[in-house]
Structure 1
Amino acid sequence: MVVLAASLITKSGKVLVSRQFVDDMSRIRVEGLLAAFPKLVGIGKQHTYVETESVRYVYQPIQLMYLLLVTNKQSNILQDLETLRLLSKLVPEYAPLDEEGISKSAFEMIFAFDEVISLGHKEIVSELQVKQYCKMESHEEKLHKLVMQSKINDTKDLMKLKASEIDKSKIDRNKRGYTSMPSMGSGRIENNFNDIPNVSGIRMINDGESILKSKGGPSVSAPPKGQGMQLGKTKRANQFLESLKAESEVIVEDVQPSAIQSRQVTSPPTDPITLTVEEKFNVTLRRDGGLSNFDVQGSLLLQILNQEDGLIQVQIATGENPAILFKMHPNINKELYYSENILGLKDPSRPFPTSSMGDAAGVVLLRWRMQSMEESNVPLTINCWPSVSGSDSYVSIEYEASPMFDLRNVIISVPLPTLREAPNVRQIDGEWRYVAKSSTLEWSILLIDNSNRSGSIEFVVPAADSSSFFPISVGFTAADTFSDLKVLNILPLKGGPSPRFSQRTQLITENYQVV
């Protein structure tokens, strides 16, 4: 038996659903066969099939429509009728028996036809099996959608955080501009803006000795600590710069605020339920290669704003990392967790405690730890190569990031010998900043992903011992974790729909050094 096509057509000849099962027939040929069928059926005939020179039409009336199979003439008519009978049982299951209902559910009906007929041959399936196959869901697809939604939520949270930082910086800038203005009761405000060129390029730096540098930008430095730029003063720009030099300040090129100045700040929760997956990373790498310490400590925190949302259970999915050991809170039902991966209290009548919107803490549901001496687990390695030539030290530093994580706000802090001037940076992938107070070069990369898994910096300083450039400290964050723990769902114990919740996931460095 070979079924060439299966269709639902009206008695007037309008094709509602059509599925072709063989590839050696053109679409025009199938359309021609279907267009010829209403003329062959006629009126008042009681037959269930019609034959032509090349094909056989096996059909069954369904109200104002025909369910039609187009087969070859060598096909077994009994098997054709059995296939037709099974399809006639499936059609009402997926759509109302009218033109509009059939058109809206055309794809579901075609999927059902595909489960019954494969490459023109009938599959050995029942009506119940076809329904079950069409309803089958993919756990991997669900997990993928949850991961993608989690990334979208993380991006939205980051956008909100950046927007709040921008608003805060504007407020601080306005405060600095008006703090030193004379009171309105004096009746006079002197305006000598023209005496100080490029006022907009001068910025305040808290420690009074931090210096930023990038490609280009006007020369400017920070004022001495404890002094602010006051409006109405008649001091000229050269006198201003000379006073900075008298305070042992180093003047280099300035840049706009960059990733070096930004710090990761956790915004308070805004959703009724917030779950935070956080891992703190401690690593010590040896300068000549190898690993001295590798320790990851993670936690799953639950924050609930409203007491009525406390009667819940948390369904999670953990990664398949055998090196990670999980420990639950003593009040968590261990049997429920081990059997169904659900975190709930031993006493289901008790709600989880709540926390206020300004409270960054929460209830720790789960803790875990990972220790390893495998260097392949390190997401970022640093190689430093100092060499002395004449009266100068030439330092080349290279980073290499593994593809396991995308790293954000990466800052590599390199100690330097005490310098009177900023180092001479000859080449860099990213931006750099010289902190004169601590004599440290901070190399920053906003994001490390597949486009820049490796990068380098080269700079020159006066001749110094190679140990002067160690230990190198590294800081970064990531939106993925070693445990790969995901929150799948929130299960309300009172019934009803799942409450709205958000998930935050981050990996942060607590102590990451190259010694």
Structure 2
Amino acid sequence: MVVLAASIISKSGKALISRQFVEMSRIRIEGYLAAFPKLVGTGKQHTYVETENVRYVYQPIESLYLLLVTNKQSNILEDLETVRLLSKLVPEYSFSLDEEGVCRTAFELIFAFDEVISLGHKENVTVAQVKQYCEMESHEEKLHKLVLQSKINETKDVMKRKASEIDKSKIERNRGEKGGFMSLQSMGSGRMDTGFGSDTNLSSLGGSGSGFGPSTDVDSFSTKSKGRPVASATGPPKGLGMQLGKTQRTNQFLQSLKAEGEVIVEDVRPSIGPSKPPAPPPTDPVTLTIEEKINVTLKRDGGISNFNVQGTLSLQILNQEDGLIQVQIETSGNPAIHFNTHPNINKELFSNENILGLKEPSRPFPANQSGDGVSLLRWRMQSADESILPLTINCWPSVSGNETYVNIEYETPAQTDLQNVVIFVPLPALRDAPRIQQIDGEWRYDSRNSVLEWSVVLIDNSNRSGSLEFVVPAADPDVFFPISARFTASRTFSDLKVANILPLKGGSPPKFSQRTLLASENYQVV
């Protein structure tokens, strides 16, 4: 097998990223990529196209194509396996499977492709190994940063000592100049407390012959004290000026190091925020979002304790002139689903014709709404039928001697494809990771929370069921519960779709797009 190039292109033929693995002219590679969209037909079941010189092996990823250009002598089975491995890597690095997401993570994807394909030949690696290789750290780099940081810390200590010596010399010099007035100077002002809640000016005391010395000396001291801040309850804390001076000198020193080309490693606090990046903003004039959240509690011995689905249909309009519309929808007609419209929606129109429109047709829908827009329709569904579950999980722990063998299996029904599936299995407190005997997918051990994370990027017709077997020290079977799961799907229970946009002011309807998502909110086996 010889892979000439790997690329991710849009369905319009635009190459987003491309990696060449053999010596070949750039014009020739660009010619191959430009010819691919013309060769792909619609409605075909196979995922490869052969020409006179090369073979195109591809896999659709939403609105994109993952494409391999190979020679015709390569093994088609190895080509398909390589495409499948690359398709698992793309969601790992790209936060969204569209042009923007791929372009923003282009370098990470190219590095991952290099770990899978070397000089045109596939490497025997897994997704976890590729991620590990791409995240490997350099010992020399760590050592260089430690040495540089130690130099900076040492320089800071020297600066503190110098600043302390300078402050001490200033104090000694002031003592020599002030003479017997140091006790007054230590107050930080030309005033003293008389003990009656008010301050008495020293010059007035000296002028009255109270024994503090000649008035001229006191006036001289007051004159020298001008410009120094008066100490008060609302003033800055003692020593703040010295700290600000040190900070300013430290910043100047660090700036000089940066000017000389040194890399300054600063202490940065990690910001607390959402780990998941926000969805890309809508680009079409009208965007409709169909989202369902599923909450399920399953019994470990079989049966459903709770099954609840809540869905929303949201409308987002970019320009106010496109707000005079109505939305025609299609549903599966499931009697178990109960729909509720927004109070401003014409309920009779929705009940008779499945059209969502305002009670006052002359009023437009609001535009530039934050988030997913304004909610037009809500629905809920409850059931006790196990056959409609999108994911079934069975756990079988068994103790044998001083070890516990745990077998877990998942199963999904036909026509239900799940993405980004992660199953969280609680474990007893362990010093080391559990010993994995067999797994369909990838795994990760969270030692802080003592949880085993079993992840499967995509569950489709090729892997409707899968299993995991691991071994831990002897433990109570109840320790491994509750098991929770997280996943998404593009097919909802309501099977609601937007059929058409009906303009009320005449003319052609505005261009619209719809997003459909089913997400698990709380999916547990207890």
| TM, length-normalised to structure 1 | 0.53
1:354 aligned onto 2:289:
no
What residue identity is the alignment partner of 1:447? L
Residue 450 of structure 1 corresponds to: 461
Query: Offset at 1:361?
Result: 2.8
SS of match in other structure, 2:387: helix
Query: Offset at 1:403?
Result: 1.5
CA separation in 2, counterparts of 1:450 and 1:172? 29
Query: Offset at 1:339?
Result: 1.9
Query: Offset at 1:387?
Result: 0.8
Matches within 5 A, 1:205-354: 214=128, 229=142, 231-233=144-146, 265-354=278-367
Matches within 5 A, 1:12-411: 155=63, 161-162=96-97, 164-165=100-101, 214=128, 229=142, 231-233=144-146, 265-355=278-368, 359-411=370-422
Q: 1:220 to 1:394 in 2, by over 3 A?
A: farther
Residue 115 of structure 1 corresponds to: none
CA separation in 1, counterparts of 2:286 and 2:512? 5
Query: Offset at 1:498?
Result: 1.4
CA separation in 1, counterparts of 2:133 and 2:313? 47
Matches within 5 A, 1:435-446: 435-446=446-457
SS of match in other structure, 1:468: helix
Number of residues of Structure 1 aligned to a counterpart in Structure 2: 297
What residue identity is the alignment partner of 1:462? P
Relative contact order, CA 8 A, sep 6+: which one is greater?
1
Q: Which runs of 4+ in 1 moved over 3 A?
A: 152-160, 162-173, 212-223, 228-235, 262-265
Query: Offset at 1:404?
Result: 4.0
CA separation in 2, counterparts of 1:473 and 1:452? 20
CA separation in 2, counterparts of 1:361 and 1:330? 19
Could you list the runs of 5+ residues in structure 2 that have no partner in the other structure?
Answer: 1-59, 66-90, 116-125, 149-274
Residue 502 of structure 1 corresponds to: 513
Query: Offset at 1:363?
Result: 0.9
1:490 aligned onto 2:425:
no
SS of match in other structure, 2:96: helix
CA separation in 1, counterparts of 2:103 and 2:144? 23
Residue 488 of structure 2 corresponds to: 477
8 Å CA contact 1:313, 1:492 repeated in 2: yes
Deviations 1:20-39 (A, max 9, x none): xxxxxxxxxxxxxxxxxxxx
Q: 1:408 to 1:387 in 2, by over 3 A?
A: same
Query: Offset at 1:355?
Result: 1.9
When the two chains are superposed, the root-mean-square deviation of aligned CA atoms in Å is: 3.3
Aligned-pair identity in percent equals: 60
CA separation in 2, counterparts of 1:508 and 1:218? 28
SS of match in other structure, 1:489: strand
8 Å CA contact 1:153, 1:502 repeated in 2: no
CA separation in 2, counterparts of 1:432 and 1:169? 24
CA separation in 2, counterparts of 1:331 and 1:464? 57
CA separation in 1, counterparts of 2:61 and 2:371? 18
Could you list the runs of 5+ residues in structure 1 that have no partner in the other structure?
Answer: 1-151, 174-199, 202-211, 236-261
CA separation in 2, counterparts of 1:485 and 1:218? 41
Deviations 1:95-135 (A, max 9, x none): xxxxxxxxxxxxxxxxxxxxxxxxxxxxxxxxxxxxxxxxx
Deviations 1:432-489 (A, max 9, x none): 1111111111001111111111000111111111011110010100101000101011
CA separation in 2, counterparts of 1:434 and 1:345? 52
Q: 1:474 to 1:405 in 2, by over 3 A?
A: same
8 Å CA contact 2:289, 2:372 repeated in 1: no
What residue identity is the alignment partner of 2:467? S
Q: 1:218 to 1:300 in 2, by over 3 A?
A: closer
Query: Offset at 1:338?
Result: 1.8
Deviations 1:369-407 (A, max 9, x none): 000111112111100001111111111000010114211
| TM, length-normalised to structure 2 | 0.52
Q: 1:302 to 1:219 in 2, by over 3 A?
A: closer
CA separation in 2, counterparts of 1:430 and 1:169? 24
Greater Cα shift, 163-172 or 331-340: 163-172
Query: Offset at 1:217?
Result: 8.3
What residue identity is the alignment partner of 1:280? K
8 Å CA contact 1:300, 1:365 repeated in 2: yes
Query: Offset at 1:266?
Result: 2.6
What residue identity is the alignment partner of 2:428? P
Q: 1:213 to 1:469 in 2, by over 3 A?
A: farther
